[in-house]
Amino acid sequence: MSPHNVWRWALLAALVFVLAGLACDPYPPVEYVNATSQRVTIYEGGKFFCNLEPHQSNEALADEDVWRPDIKVVAEDGRVLLEDHITWDELEEMGRKIVITDPEHPPSPSPTP
């Protein structure tokens, strides 16, 4: 096989590998949104997942096989803002978005023009 054909086959194999990887992830990411004025720490299944600054969001790839439904969110002042068991079906119903709010400090309304 000529070197030219080896490069063609390598390129074709790489393309097939990339396309197969894209086809294997049919789910859009799960998004966490920190709608509070505090830094929060998010735990999934009892394990640290991430920290989010105020009004920051984070997307993570997940599918039903790896989803850890026990979610806990702790504010920087130590209060638990969310502790829930969110099933995969419930997550889908939520549009794959978990918005973290602070019931003691609701966001101020947007000013109207």
pLDDT digits (tens, 9 = 90+) for 65-100: 889 999 999 999 999 999 999 999 999 999 999 999
User: Which pLDDT band, with edges at 50, 70 and 90, does 1 fall under?
Assistant: low
Q: Where are the domains of the chain?
A: 27-100
The per-residue pLDDT for 41 is: 97
Q: Model confidence at 63, in pLDDT bands (50, 70, 90)?
A: confident
Contact (Cβ atoms closer than 8 angstroms) between residue 71 and residue 82: yes
- Chain centroid offset of residue 26 CA: 15
Give the tens place of pLDDT for each residue, 8-51.
676 666 666 655 554 555 678 999 999 999 999 999 999 999 99
Q: Quick check: pTM over 0.85?
A: no
Q: Of 30, 67, 69, 33, nearest to 53 (Cα)?
A: 33
